[in-house]
């Protein structure tokens, strides 16, 4: 699904150069559920931005779904984001002026789908997250957990191959966090690849694979743990 | 594209958009009406007078010496003027078209029938008049030197041997040919029409019958008289001071009136109109700038307020073009709302101006042009902030607050 | 408390200088444009002689053509002619009902002096009877108006303006000395102080806002010399006009006539006298139209002659709409400015300030901004009017700020700023304290 080789990313200001990623290599297979962990400033978010084509990178190669994306134009990258990737952000990033349904339909609009198709898909996605009854609410009228579920519905509506989640439970209490994680697992179970950035070991334990990032490098793999006890441990924490 | 969500967004943050929409509305009303008044005034000022405006000037003399030889000195003045290099022709006149003051006369088409009277401007001209004013004689002849008589505005003896009419006046008085017909006065004088000229405006800019002028062979009997001086093309500015010097040095017992170009005289007569045009123009330009800035301000504010939202949209797959179009569309909706109110305001203002003051009714095409212009202004104004918005990187979405 | 409000306002202005400057600029541009337009209107509509404008009357008699009414510009008849015939003016001078009266006309002559440095030049002359000076309160520096005898016999005497006195006589008391007018010696009877009523209400024929003549001679002295009429002359009757004497005896109208009637009793008496005079003339075969005599006060006369042009009213109307757009702009800017200060307002609320305190605080700031905008606007208006004076000679006496317009500008800016600031201030005052405090 995703293959990064020797990726380097340097942020330059007038005074300093920061190597956010160096010689970063990672391969994620189709259908994986990967947790990316690491302390703040380790390069997790940079990895996520590059993986999601939100940022370009300097060295190395990156193949997404078999396609080399290093030389693509802004417009082509927008199209790939729109069609293959679903984003879930830590602070939800719902558009405050749009109601729930409009928020979920937004990526479909950018795909130029017609109105009927958009509505149908948005409805399905909202049903999946259990918010089908709230379509005309504004984000400000929802709880944090509900907002994040809308955001997940928005990420799912485009039926992406890859879900990128950035600390999806960072702004939620533990009960809501668990609901969100349940949803991600459910999505993954249907065959969608999920990459989740988190600093919470309890969450990462529920992924098939853990990738630890330190100083812009992948330092540790934790292979897929087939024992479903991880689930119980996470819930109990 | 996202009309519905744009409208919803506006309805939730309505104060800013409302302010700008009202600005657009009033701007349209003021702009269209101001332009219309400017256009009306300019049309009045641009009416041709029939003389060679670009090359015509006027000076004159005012005699005070008791023993001043009026007839002889004028003849000598005209000879000197007509021989001066750069002068095309010079002759005596009582006034010039469009300059504000002159004489009018009542002519009768039929003898002793006051009901056949026609009002017209009356110019006293001499044998040089046709060349001096640069008139186009379409029929008949011009006056000879021996026809010029002395005229005092408060009374004189005798009458003119002939009269020249403008085409406009000739058609009004004698629709089936004016040449040779007799023109009568209420005091039972008469003169034949000896010629017809294409065009000559009256002296008074506000007079309704702009081209109803007549010319008679006469010369003021003192103590003051005007000389019209027509320069060779392009040499007026150079010739006029020379002419003043020439006349001043030529004889004593009189002063020379400071020369003016015909254009200056007409412009002075139109002071009110020109001042109005200038003030309205400044108001309009400032207003358009101000409204443009208002739109820029609101849009910039919106871009700053929506930075994260724009980043999110980009992350969800919006291209830069999508973002640009979003802001352009939002502005178009806003401007259109303003223009909706603007149409009503524009008509109301025009109705008020037409009702109260000397302003005509606005043709519908002006409204359409005004709307298009403001729509273009809005799109232009929002372009800057919208481009800033397109430069917001999608990675903004993953930034934590 | 007000001092505290002012101090806080100053801090707030300094915290957001760009927005504050933009708000001041928006108000300044609005005030600049509207005061420019308003000044021209104000000067046009000004009462040129406020102390007695309701006691001075322009006299009109309808001596015009029986077949068609008098027209002077426009599409509608203008009522009785604006001017009198010479014979009627002379006859009215016999009445002793008015406190003062004057028949007059504008002429021109060449002036020569013994001073060799002053070349002969053409000057406008007011030929008038002596009542002109007392009636219009024309101030004298030296000497006085000519005596009644000079009105009768047309003695060659002259009253000169200060400008000519400065040029010819170096500003000295020149009474008793002579100037040459049109080849005749005229003795100086008096010298005027500066006198320049705007609009020049007594004669609106030429440029309404021109300066008055610098030379005044008895009307009789001018007509005896057959000095030309530099104003309107309108004739309707077919008469044989060969000599100037024919002209003076004709039905041509050209003489301006003013009368000073201090109270309603004298007004009524004078009107009765005018009607009696016209009846008497009708009996003699003159005045063929229905009787229509008018006494118009200065104000009515200026209105009748439409001194305030339609264009100037259009400009005022559009200039005020412009001001409204500026204020809408200012409201938007104030919203942006105050939005940034909402948290500090919330802290004040939490410390016990009432909503009114907050609103008053902001209105103090807005009022101060308004006054700054007014001052800047006044400077803009002065610049605008200056550029109009440069561009248009005829507006030299019109496009000028006076004290009242200065106060109007500041007051208008202050009120406009308050009006614009009311909603933004109210909105901040309404802000819920808790919301802002929590997010800090």
DSSP per residue, C390-431: HH-GGGTTTS---HHHHHHHHHHHHHHHHHHHHHHHHHHHHS
Give the β-pairing of B137-140 and B190-197.
antiparallel
pLDDT exceeds 90 at position C118: no
What per-residue confidence (pLDDT) applies to C68? 83
Domain-located, residue C51: no
Report the C-alpha gap between A159 and A120 in whole angstroms: 13
What per-residue confidence (pLDDT) applies to C432? 60
Under 8 Å CB-to-CB from B98, ≥6 apart: which residues? Answer: B47, B49, B201, B203, B205, B262, B265, B266, B269
**Under 8 Å between Cβ of A129 and A153:** yes
**Under 8 Å between Cβ of B32 and B207:** no
Asked if C428 and C404 sit in the same domain, the reply is: yes
Domain-located, residue C177: yes
Report the C-alpha gap between B203 and C127 in whole angstroms: 26
Domain-located, residue C353: yes
- Chain center to CA of A59: 23
Question: How many Å lie between the alpha carbon of B110 and the closest alpha carbon of chain C?
Answer: 15
Which of C304, C331, C357 is where one domain is finished?
C304
The reply to whether residue B395 touches residue A55, judged by beta carbons under 8 angstroms, is: yes
Report the C-alpha gap between C217 and C124 in whole angstroms: 11
Of B5, B316, B401, the CB nearest to A110: B316
Chains interfacing with A (3 or more CB pairs < 8 Å): B
Domain-located, residue C332: yes
Which of C135-149, C167-181, C349-363 is the least confident region? C349-363
| Residue C273 Cα distances to B106, C104, C257, angstroms | 34, 21, 15
pLDDT in tens, A155-213: 999 899 999 999 888 888 888 888 888 989 999 999 999 999 988 888 888 888 889 88
What per-residue confidence (pLDDT) applies to C205? 76
Percent of chain B with pLDDT over 90: 78
Domain-located, residue C117: yes
Which of C304, C324, C355 is where one domain is finished?
C304
Asked if C321 and C427 sit in the same domain, the reply is: yes
Of B16, B114, B279, the CB nearest to C332: B16
Asked if C341 and C206 sit in the same domain, the reply is: no
Asked if C104 and C180 sit in the same domain, the reply is: yes
Question: How many Å lie between the alpha carbon of B317 and the closest alpha carbon of chain C?
Answer: 31
What is the ipTM metric for this complex?
0.86
Asked if C81 and C169 sit in the same domain, the reply is: yes
What per-residue confidence (pLDDT) applies to B401? 54
Percent of chain C with pLDDT over 70: 96
What per-residue confidence (pLDDT) applies to C436? 52
- Structural domain count, chain C: 2
User: Taking CB atoms and an 8 Å cut-off, how many pairs form between chains B and C?
Assistant: 167
Domain-located, residue C217: yes
Looking at the complex, does the CB of residue B358 fall below 8 Å from at least one CB of chain C? yes
Report the C-alpha gap between A42 and C200 in whole angstroms: 86
List C residues 80-139 in contact with B (Cβ-Cβ < 8 A). 108-110, 112, 119-122
Which residues from chain B sit within 8 angstroms of residue C205, using beta carbons?
A: none
What per-residue confidence (pLDDT) applies to B156? 83
What per-residue confidence (pLDDT) applies to C74? 65
Asked if C295 and C224 sit in the same domain, the reply is: yes
What per-residue confidence (pLDDT) applies to C209? 74
Helices (H), B162-225: 167-173
pLDDT in tens, B374-383: 999 999 999 9
Helix (H) or strand (E) holding B110: none
Chains C, A in contact: 3+ Cβ pairs under 8 A? no
Q: Starting at the earlier edge strand, list the strands of the sheet with A17-28.
A: A17-28, A2-12, A59-64, A67-68
What per-residue confidence (pLDDT) applies to C425? 85
> Best mutation site among B7, B315, B325 for testing chain A: the one with the most A CBs within 10 Å?
B315
Report the C-alpha gap between B277 and B313 in whole angstroms: 49
Domain-located, residue C114: yes
Domain-located, residue C50: no
Report the C-alpha gap between C49 and C56 in whole angstroms: 9
Under 8 Å CB-to-CB from B92, ≥6 apart: which residues? Answer: B74, B78, B124, B125, B126, B128, B219, B220, B225, B226, B227, B228
What per-residue confidence (pLDDT) applies to A223? 58
pLDDT exceeds 50 at position B63: yes
Report the C-alpha gap between C244 and C366 in whole angstroms: 70
Identify the burial level of A5 via C-beta atoms within 10 angstroms of its C-beta, where 0-12 means exposed, 13-18 middle and 19 or more buried.
middle
Asked if C41 and C117 sit in the same domain, the reply is: no
Asked if C297 and C362 sit in the same domain, the reply is: no
The reply to whether residue B188 touches residue C331, judged by beta carbons under 8 angstroms, is: no
| Residue bearing the bigger pLDDT, C20 or B133 | B133
Asked if C62 and C99 sit in the same domain, the reply is: yes
Chains interfacing with C (3 or more CB pairs < 8 Å): B
Q: In chain C, count of helices (H) and strands (E)?
A: 14, 11
Looking at the complex, does the CB of residue C350 fall below 8 Å from at least one CB of chain B? no
Of B64, B114, B359, the CB nearest to C67: B114
Which residues from chain B sit within 8 angstroms of residue A199, using beta carbons?
A: none
Asked if C109 and C245 sit in the same domain, the reply is: yes
**Which whole number is the average pLDDT over B27-36?**
94
| Domain membership of residue C280 as a residue range | 56-304
Helices (H), C250-402: 264-283, 298-304, 310-350, 355-391
**Which whole number is the average pLDDT over C344-349?**
77
* Per-residue pLDDT band at B146 (split at 50, 70, 90): very high
Tokens 């108001």 correspond to: B283
Report the C-alpha gap between C409 and C299 in whole angstroms: 25
Looking at the complex, does the CB of residue C329 fall below 8 Å from at least one CB of chain B? yes
pTM of the model: 0.84
pLDDT exceeds 90 at position C350: no
* Rounded (10°) CA dihedral A187, A190, A196, A200: 70
**Which whole number is the average pLDDT over B276-290?**
93
Structure tokens at B202: 């009256």
What per-residue confidence (pLDDT) applies to A231? 41
Looking at the complex, does the CB of residue B359 fall below 8 Å from at least one CB of chain C? yes
**Which whole number is the average pLDDT over B68-93?**
96
The reply to whether residue B280 touches residue C318, judged by beta carbons under 8 angstroms, is: yes
Percent of chain C with pLDDT over 90: 62
b/e code C261-285 from CB counts within 10 Å (16+ = b): beeeebbeebbebbeebbeebeeee
**Angle of CA points C139, C141, C143, to nearest 5°:** 100
Give pLDDT < 50 ranges for chain A: 226-237
Asked if C154 and C295 sit in the same domain, the reply is: yes
Looking at the complex, does the CB of residue B315 fall below 8 Å from at least one CB of chain A? yes
Beta bridge partners of B207: none
Under 8 Å CB-to-CB from C44, ≥6 apart: which residues? Answer: C199, C307, C308, C309, C312, C398
What per-residue confidence (pLDDT) applies to A235? 35
The reply to whether residue B37 touches residue C314, judged by beta carbons under 8 angstroms, is: yes
List B residues 148-207 in contact with C (Cβ-Cβ < 8 A). 152-157, 185-188, 206
The reply to whether residue C391 touches residue B275, judged by beta carbons under 8 angstroms, is: yes
SS3 per residue for B62-97? EECCCCCCHHHHHHHHHHHHHHCCCEEEEEEECCCC
List B residues 6-25 in contact with C (Cβ-Cβ < 8 A). 15-16, 19-20, 22-23
Helices (H), C93-204: 131-135, 148-153, 162-169
Looking at the complex, does the CB of residue A93 fall below 8 Å from at least one CB of chain B? yes
Chains interfacing with B (3 or more CB pairs < 8 Å): A, C
Q: Could you give the count of Cα atoms lying within 13 Å of C288 in the half-sphere of its Cβ?
A: 10
The reply to whether residue B312 touches residue A95, judged by beta carbons under 8 angstroms, is: yes
pLDDT exceeds 70 at position B313: yes
**Under 8 Å between Cβ of B294 and C328:** yes
Identify the burial level of B390 via C-beta atoms within 10 angstroms of its C-beta, where 0-12 means exposed, 13-18 middle and 19 or more buried.
buried
Looking at the complex, does the CB of residue B312 fall below 8 Å from at least one CB of chain A? yes
pLDDT in tens, C267-302: 999 999 999 999 999 999 999 999 999 999 999 999
The residue of chain B with its CA nearest to that of C66 is: B114
Asked if C370 and C290 sit in the same domain, the reply is: no
């Amino acid at each position: 699904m995703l293959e990064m080789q020797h990726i380097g990313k340097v942020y330059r200001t007038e005074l300093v150069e920061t190597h956010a990623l160096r010689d970063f290599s990672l391969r994620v297979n189709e259908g994986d559920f990967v947790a990316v962990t690491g302390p703040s400033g380790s390069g997790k978010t940079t990895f996520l931005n590059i993986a999601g084509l939100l940022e370009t990178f300097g060295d190395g190669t990156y193949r997404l779904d078999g396609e080399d994306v290093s030389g693509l134009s802004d417009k082509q990258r927008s199209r790939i984001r729109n069609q293959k990737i679903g984003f879930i952000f830590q602070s939800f990033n719902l558009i405050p002026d749009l109601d729930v349904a409009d928020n979920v339909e937004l990526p479909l609009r950018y795909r130029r789908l017609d109105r009927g198709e958009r509505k149908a898909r948005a409805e399905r996605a909202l049903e999946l997250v259990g918010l089908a009854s709230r379509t005309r609410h504004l984000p400000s009228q929802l709880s944090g957990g509900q907002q994040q579920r809308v955001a997940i519905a928005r990420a799912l509506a485009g039926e992406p191959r890859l879900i990128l989640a950035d600390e999806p439970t960072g702004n939620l209490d533990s009960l809501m966090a668990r609901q969100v994680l349940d949803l991600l697992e459910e999505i993954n179970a249907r065959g969608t690849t999920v990459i989740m950035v988190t600093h919470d070991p309890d969450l990462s334990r529920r992924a098939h694979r853990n990738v630890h990032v330190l100083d812009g490098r992948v330092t540790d793999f934790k292979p897929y743990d087939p024992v479903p006890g991880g689930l119980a441990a996470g819930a109990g924490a | 594209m996202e009309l519905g969500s744009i409208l919803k967004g506006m309805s939730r943050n309505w104060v800013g958009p409302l302010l700008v929409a009202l600005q657009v509305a009033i701007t349209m009303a003021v702009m269209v009406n101001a332009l219309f008044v400017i256009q009306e005034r300019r049309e009045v000022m641009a009416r041709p007078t029939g003389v060679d405006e670009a090359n015509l000037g006027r000076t004159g003399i005012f005699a005070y010496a008791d023993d001043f030889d009026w007839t002889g000195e004028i003849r000598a003045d005209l000879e000197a003027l007509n021989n001066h290099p750069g002068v095309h022709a010079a002759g005596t006149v009582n006034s010039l078209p469009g300059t504000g003051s002159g004489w009018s006369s009542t002519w009768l088409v039929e003898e002793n029938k006051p009901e056949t009277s026609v009002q017209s401007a009356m110019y006293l001209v001499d044998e040089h008049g046709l060349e001096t004013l640069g008139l186009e004689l379409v029929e008949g002849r011009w006056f000879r030197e021996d026809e010029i008589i002395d005229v005092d505005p408060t009374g004189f003896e005798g009458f003119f041997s002939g009269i020249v009419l403008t085409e406009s006046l000739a058609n009004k008085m004698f629709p089936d040919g004016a040449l040779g017909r007799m023109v009568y006065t209420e005091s039972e004088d008469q003169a034949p029409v000896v010629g017809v000229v294409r065009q000559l405006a009256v002296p008074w800019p506000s007079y309704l019958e702009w081209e109803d002028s007549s010319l008679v062979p006469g010369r003021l009997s003192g103590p003051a008289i005007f000389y019209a001086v027509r320069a060779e093309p392009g040499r007026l500015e150079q010739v006029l001071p020379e002419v003043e010097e020439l006349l001043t040095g030529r004889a004593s017992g009189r002063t020379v009136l400071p020369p003016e170009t015909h254009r200056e005289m007409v412009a002075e007569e139109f002071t009110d109109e020109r001042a109005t045009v200038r003030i309205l123009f400044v108001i309009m330009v400032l207003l358009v700038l101000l409204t443009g800035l208002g739109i820029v301000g609101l849009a910039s504010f919106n871009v700053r307020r929506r930075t994260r939202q724009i980043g999110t949209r980009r992350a969800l797959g919006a291209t830069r073009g999508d973002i640009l179009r979003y802001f352009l569309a939002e502005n178009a909706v806003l401007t259109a709302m303003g223009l909706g109110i603007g149409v009503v305001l524009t008509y109301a203002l025009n109705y008020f101006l037409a009702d109260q003051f000397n302003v005509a009714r606005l043709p519908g095409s002006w409204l359409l042009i005004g709307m298009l212009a403001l729509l273009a202004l809005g799109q232009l104004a929002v372009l800057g902030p919208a481009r800033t918005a397109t430069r917001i990187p999608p990675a903004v979405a993953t930034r934590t607050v | 408390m007000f001092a505290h409000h002012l101090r806080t306002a100053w801090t707030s202005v300094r915290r957001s200088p760009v927005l504050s400057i933009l708000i001041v600029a928006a108000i300044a541009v609005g005030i600049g444009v509207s005061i420019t337009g308003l000044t021209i209107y104000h000067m046009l509509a000004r009462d040129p002689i406020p102390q007695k404008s309701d006691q001075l009357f322009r006299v009109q008699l309808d001596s015009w053509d029986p077949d068609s009414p008098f027209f002077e510009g426009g599409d509608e008849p203008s009522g009785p002619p604006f001017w009198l015939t010479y014979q009627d003016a002379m006859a009215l001078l016999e009445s002793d009902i008015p406190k003062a009266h004057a028949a007059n006309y504008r002429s021109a002559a060449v002036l020569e002096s013994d001073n060799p440095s002053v070349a002969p030049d053409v000057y406008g002359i007011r030929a008038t009877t002596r009542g002109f000076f007392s009636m219009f309160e024309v101030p004298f520096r030296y000497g006085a108006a000519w005596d009644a005898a000079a009105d009768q016999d047309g003695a060659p005497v002259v009253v000169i303006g200060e400008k000519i006195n400065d040029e010819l006589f170096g500003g000295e008391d020149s009474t008793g000395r002579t100037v040459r007018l049109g080849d005749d010696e005229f003795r100086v009877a008096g010298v005027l102080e500066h006198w320049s009523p705007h609009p020049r209400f007594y004669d609106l024929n030429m440029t309404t806002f021109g300066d008055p003549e610098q030379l005044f001679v008895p009307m009789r002295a001018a007509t005896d010399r057959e000095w030309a009429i530099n104003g309107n002359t309108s004739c309707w009757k077919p008469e044989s006009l060969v000599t100037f004497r024919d002209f003076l005896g004709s039905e041509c109208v050209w003489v301006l006539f003013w009368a000073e009637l201090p109270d309603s009793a004298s007004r009524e008496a004078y009107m009765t006298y005018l009607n009696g005079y016209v009846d008497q003339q009708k009996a003699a075969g003159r005045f063929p139209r229905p009787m229509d005599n008018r006494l118009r006060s200065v104000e009515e006369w200026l209105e009748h002659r439409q001194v305030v042009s339609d264009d100037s009213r259009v400009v005022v109307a559009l200039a005020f709409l412009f001001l409204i757009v500026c204020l809408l702009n200012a409201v938007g800017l104030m919203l942006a400015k105050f939005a940034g200060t909402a948290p500090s307002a919330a802290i004040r609320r939490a410390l016990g300030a009432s909503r009114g305190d907050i609103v008053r605080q902001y209105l103090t700031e807005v009022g101060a901004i308004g006054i700054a905008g007014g001052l800047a606007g006044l400077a803009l208006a002065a610049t605008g009017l200056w550029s109009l004076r440069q561009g248009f000679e005829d507006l030299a006496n019109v496009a000028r700020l006076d004290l009242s317009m200065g106060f109007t500008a500041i007051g208008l800016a202050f009120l406009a700023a308050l009006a614009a600031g009311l909603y933004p201030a109210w909105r901040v005052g309404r802000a819920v304290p808790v919301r802002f405090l929590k997010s800090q």
